[in-house]
Amino acid sequence: MEFKTLFTPLWKWRWVIISAAILAGLVSFLVSMSQSPQYLSRTTLILGQSINSPNPSSSQFFLEQQLAGIYADMGAREPVRQGTMDALGLTWLPSYNVRALPDTQLIEITVTDTDPVRAQAVAAELANQIINSAPTSISNDEQDRQSFINEQLAELQDDITLTQDSIDQKNLELGNLTSASQIASVEQEIFSLENKLNTLQDTYANLLSSTSQGALNTLRIVEPAQVPNRPIGPDRIMTSLIAALVGFMLAAVGVFIYEWLDQSINSEQEAGKIIQAPLLGQIPQIPKGIKALTFVEEEPFSPITDSFRSLRNNLEFLEVNQGAKSFLVTSGGVSDGKTTVALNLALSFAKDNKRVTLIDADFYQSVIAKELEIKSHLGLGDLLQNPKLDFLSVLVPLYNGKVLLMPTGTRPVNPSESLNSADCRHIINQVRESTDIVIIDGPPFITSDAVVLASKVDGVLIVVNQGQSKIQPLTNAVEQLKFAKAKIIGYVMNGITKSSAYYNYYQKESKLQKKETSNKGFLRRITNRTK
């Protein structure tokens, strides 16, 4: 799929998409204006003593990381939450998060609140509640016992130092002795001191394990909670931009879905891919209140009339280069404007001093005779049913003989079979030989008549109505024409919309030309009166 094909729906609905983005951003900005500032307070806990050890083990690190994740999960549970509310006298808590930082022994607590003081208090108390849940936390009743143990540890540490010094001193004495009895006595003393040292060290280790000084499962605060002095949000600009982007994307997706569900042909590119023939003309939408069938005659200076002239010029090139004189004007479906294109095209050729015959071959929905107020008259149907009838007798001169119209006349019993007969080909050839241009206003391709007529002309001109013609009927029409080996000379985009600048320019030119024509007529009348 080409980039242009993807971009076309966005460009077509650009104002809807842009409006949706602006509306989403504006609504987001107004909503954020009504929101109170948000403050964030943070505190951080560390688990274990590995950070203080000069030679920590990997197993110790891993265990502490596992414990940190467990404590972080406990911080989000109801006991910690309820304990924090009870301690602060609150009935609710602001938004907070407790998480273990990846690959560390750190536990981070963040609290977001509109009150900075309350945010700090809640963060600090949450940390206290988590610390109290650890087995190494000390209650008031156990503080005396811990003080006693600490005193015993200090005494044991002194005894261990003294005992070690005594062992060192005895080892020095042992090196200076020569008597066997003295050596044996000193060795016995050293042995006793070493046993005492081992006992003291075991006692010291047992007492130390019952305190928080050497415990692995212990928590302490490394970053106290602070009262924040700057709000962290809401970021109105960023929020509005994100909302605008989301609105833009949703609108764009909606446009693509709508275009995908919509089977209408909205551009000449879509029609060109189906028809595989050149674009010969672009006819703007004719304003309401003006007779569309005779627009070229009634509005000679309109830009729409100029578009019919461009279509005529393109067909004249075909006439010169390929000898094409007879054209079938048809469409894939009904109400695409084929009759309007056919009659106005005939008028454009007539204004170029061409002899033009317009054949109305739509036996099902003929509107030309009714719109032009032509009373009951013989026509194509009568010629098909009575081959001896002279074709000149059924022609109706229009606009002072500029265009000759062959009405539908009496509808045959079997229109398709009659149009497929040799008599029909003979009639078209007779008209072709007696005139410069033959334009046949045929039925749409929902009937088989269009295929039959397409094989009897020099070229087929397909009319596509922008935004109204459907993809499937047009595709079926092209397939039928290819199967019948009919020659598609091109297509016309009807009912297109142009930019205001385009219309303004030609409307100004049209008004100027009308004014000049009116002035010339006025001067001519004055001159004639004075003669």
Look at residue 90 and tell me whether its pLDDT is greater than 50: yes
Residue 136: pLDDT band by 50, 70, 90 thresholds? low
- Which tokens is 285 given? 């939408």
Average pLDDT over residues 240-244: 91
- Tell me: do 355 and 406 sit in the same domain: yes
Sign of the C-alpha dihedral, residues 151, 157, 163, 166?
A: negative
- Tell me: do 69 and 50 sit in the same domain: yes
CATH number at residue 57: 3.30.70
- Tell me: do 493 and 512 sit in the same domain: no
Averaging pLDDT over each range in 68-82, 316-330, 508-522, which range is the top one? 68-82
Claim: this prediction has a pTM higher than 0.75: no
Place of tokens 């609290």: 111
Are the beta carbons of 228 and 116 closer than 8 angstroms? Answer: yes
- Tell me: do 114 and 151 sit in the same domain: no
- Tell me: do 381 and 451 sit in the same domain: yes
How far from 395 is each of 300, 363, 391, 403, 408, CA to CA, in Å? 25, 17, 7, 10, 11
Q: Say what the pLDDT of residue 504 is.
A: 41
Smallest Cα–Cα separation from 315: which of 272, 276, 344, 286? Answer: 344
- Tell me: do 391 and 425 sit in the same domain: yes
Would you say residue 222 lies in a domain? Answer: no
Q: What is the pLDDT of residues 332-376, one digit of tens each?
A: 888 889 999 999 999 999 998 899 999 999 988 888 888 888 877
| H or E, element range at 432 | helix 422-434
Look at residue 241 and tell me whether its pLDDT is greater than 70: yes
Query: At residue 225, what are phi and psi to the nearest 5 degrees?
Result: -70, 135
- Tell me: do 91 and 238 sit in the same domain: no
Are the beta carbons of 338 and 463 closer than 8 angstroms? Answer: yes
Helices 303-322 and 338-351, axial angle in degrees (round to 10): 80
Q: What is the pLDDT of residues 471-515, one digit of tens each?
A: 888 999 999 888 888 899 999 999 887 543 333 444 444 444 444
Residue 145: pLDDT band by 50, 70, 90 thresholds? low
**Count of structural domains, the chain:** 5
- Tell me: do 405 and 459 sit in the same domain: yes
In sequence order, what are the residues at sequence separation of 6 or more whose Cβ sits closer than 8 angstroms to the Cβ of residue 59?
none
Are the beta carbons of 425 and 454 closer than 8 angstroms? Answer: no
Q: Say what the pLDDT of residue 209 is.
A: 61
- Tell me: do 515 and 412 sit in the same domain: no
Look at residue 143 and tell me whether its pLDDT is greater than 60: no
- Tell me: do 88 and 115 sit in the same domain: yes
Domain of 50, in residue numbers: 39-132
Q: What is the pLDDT of residues 12-37, one digit of tens each?
A: 788 999 999 999 999 988 888 888 89
Average pLDDT over residues 516-525: 44
- Tell me: do 297 and 338 sit in the same domain: yes
- Which tokens is 108 given? 């981070």
- Tell me: do 384 and 342 sit in the same domain: yes
List strand residue ranges (DSSP E) for 114-208, in order. Answer: none
